[in-house]
Amino acid sequence: MVFIADYGAGNLRSVHKAFDYLGVKAAVSDKASELSGYDKVVIPGVGAFGPAMEALNRLGFTEAIREHIDKGRSVLGICLGMQLFLTGSEEMGAHKGLDIVPGTVLQFRSSTDKIPQIGWNSADICREDSILFRNLPDHSWFYFVHSYYCSPDAADSIAATTSFAGKNFCSAIEKNGIFAVQFHPEKSSEAGLQVLKNFAEF
């Protein structure tokens, strides 16, 4: 079963419905104490980095997620959830993240492209052994909604990149059971469902 963390950051129901459509049992809960009973955890999210981290800390999810990973269990961050995995963010000031993936969340800056990025864009797969993109062709299209992007310190954690606002940014992360995507797989039609299916079957 999959545990979907409810820390008030929204988008929970659509993620839950996507797993339900795939026939994957999933539970939504705001109780961090329940997380230890699951092999897989999803951290979805829509909103701002700072308030999201405050909620994770207040509800006890910060330590629960770290303990989950220390046990060798897998986790998937979606959109804001991906950004929270990094060391910190520059969104509306400097904020500390979970520091699961060393790196920084940066703001898009462009004089030509309208920010935030809202809509469909392709993902260039960086790894032949990718788990998340298994059975998907390179340059598959996914749905994005974001003004900030992840910049991991280590290139070997990057599973896919996407181009926007003159920047070829990291749009997916995979390393040692830690998975994350900047796009919304639950809103990305068949390609997105395949990503969720791949995570669930890992």
Helix (H, G, I), strand (E, B) or coil at 174: strand
Q: Exactly one of 16, 68, 79, 91 is catalytic; name it.
A: 79
8 A C-beta contact, residue 198 and residue 190 = no
8 A C-beta contact, residue 95 and residue 47 = no
Helix (H, G, I), strand (E, B) or coil at 196: helix
8 A C-beta contact, residue 142 and residue 121 = yes
| Model pLDDT for residues 42-64, shown as the tens digit of each residue | 999 888 999 999 999 999 999 99
pTM of the model as a whole: 0.95
Mean pLDDT (whole number) for 126-138: 95
Q: What DSSP designation does 107 have? A: E
Mean pLDDT of the residues in the chain: 95
Amino acid at position 172, single letter: A
Q: Does residue 146 carry a catalytic annotation?
A: no
Residue 150 to residue 103: CA distance in whole angstroms = 7
Closest CA to 115 of 66, 79, 167, 178: 167
Residue 102 to residue 176: CA distance in whole angstroms = 14
Q: Does residue 79 carry a catalytic annotation?
A: yes
Closest CA to 174 of 161, 188, 156: 156
Q: Exactly one of 16, 91, 146, 186 is catalytic; name it.
A: 186
Closest CA to 34 of 1, 72, 81, 10: 1
**What pLDDT was estimated at residue 31?**
97
Question: Which conformational region is residue 22 in: left (phi greater than 0), alpha (psi within -120 to 50 degrees), or beta?
Answer: alpha
Peptide bond into 51 cis (omega under 30): no
For residue 30, which phi and psi values (nearest 5 degrees)? -100, 10
Q: Does residue 184 carry a catalytic annotation?
A: yes
DSSP H/E element including 101: strand 101-107
| Model pLDDT for residues 146-182, shown as the tens digit of each residue | 999 999 999 999 999 999 999 999 999 999 999 999 9
* DSSP string over 108-177: ---SSS-SSEEEEEEEEE--TT-STTTT--TTEEEEEEESEEEEES-GGGEEEEEEETTEEEEEEEEETT
**What pLDDT was estimated at residue 54?**
96
Domains of the chain and CATH, by start: 2-201 (3.40.50.880)
**What pLDDT was estimated at residue 113?**
82
